[in-house]
Structures are given as structure tokens and as C-alpha cells.
Amino acid sequence: MNDKIYVLAGFSGTGKDTIADILKEKHDFNFITSHTTRPMRDGESEGKPYWFITNEKFHEMNNNDEFIEYRSYNTKVNGKDDIWYYAAAKNEVKDGLKYVVVLDMLGLTEFKEAFGDRVIGIFIETPDEVREERAKERGSFDKTEWDRRLKDDRDNFQKEKINSECDYIIQNINLNKAVSDILKIK
């Protein structure tokens, strides 16, 4: 039985969530649904792709040691400063099941610390022009938020860290090929 946790990491707009959805819907992966304090976007609902919680609830869960990992992002949307929190809860992961989760590099490191050899780190790469186009197609594209994400990508995804933490680097230029490449990983 494959009880691995496939952690997808990569820059914004590389298709990590889309790949995770395909693995979950068509290939029997369980999805680790993270919690977030960011606002729900058009087309999203509770549990898809996140559990949407208040800042107060996030801090309560964090103080109760309910998360495997968490991260925060300073953002500015429509001219207003905000902090968005994201976290994976411990109760989302059960023994004996195969999972996929989308995380940043710190989250990948923390998952490896928590679950050891059960974790497979996969870095998803996509050309910059494709990434921005995908971001615009999501709807509610905000140039300030996109620029923040690009800076965050440069800060958090340094080549040395990618090479030391990720077991595989997958190109996502063709979605079907990227999914196929991931399915070959055991």
C-alpha cells in the first residue's frame, strides 16, 4: 500500500492546485485540506480548496498545537494591508493513506520533520509567462498581490533549498504529462 505524502511546492501559478485536484479526483489520492484566513474567491467553497477560518480561530488552533505547519503572508489587496495565514492541521493526516498537499518550502521541511520518509517533495516548474497568464485566468487578478507573490517566490524558493528538500522537479508545461510524471513516483 502506498501511504506516501506527495508534497507539491512551486512558484505561484505553476498549477500545483490543479495537479493536486487531478490526483485526488482521478487517482485516489487523499487531499490534505489546509486552513486559511484569506477571503474565499469566486468558485471556492468551504473545504474546496481550503477550510476558511477567522484570525481568532487560527490563533486558537495554533495555540492548541493543532497544526503540522503554518505560514503567513503580508499582503495588500485593494490598498488595504492584511496578513493571511495558511496551515495544515494534524487531524487531516491518517496512517495508511496516500496524500497530496500543496505547501511552500518551509511547509515541506516541516512535513518531512513530522512524517520522515513518508514524504515525497515535488517541485513544480512552469515558465514565468505561463504562470502570469494562469493567474489572470483565475479571476480577481490583483497586480499588487501578484507582485507580492513574485517577491515571495524569489525569497522562499531558493535553488539550494529546492535541491536539498525536493526529491523531484516536474515541469508543468503540459498538464497531462506533469500528472503522468508524478504518478510514476513511488
Q: Which residue has the cell 512524517?
A: 115
Quote the DSSP letter at residue 48.
B
For residue 132, give Cα distances in angstroms to 54, 79, 128, 135: 29, 21, 6, 5
Widest Cα–Cα separation across the chain: 49
Neighbours of 11 (CB within 10 A): 19
pTM of structure = 0.83
Residue with cell 535553488: 159
C-alpha cell, 150: 513574485
Give me the pLDDT at residue 29, please.
96
Do the Cβ atoms of 126 and 10 come closer than 8 Å? yes
For the chain, the straight-line distance linking the first and the last C-alpha, in angstroms and rounded, comes to 10
What domains are there in the chain, each with its CATH number? 5-183 (3.40.50.300)
Specify the pLDDT at position 149.
77
- pLDDT at residue 35, as a whole number: 96
Given this model, what pLDDT does residue 1 score?
52
What does the pLDDT read at residue 28? Answer: 92
The strands making up 119-125's β-sheet, listed across from edge to edge, are 30-31, 99-102, 5-10, 119-125, 168-171
- The single-letter DSSP state of residue 90 is G
Q: Which residue numbers in the chain have pLDDT < 50?
A: none
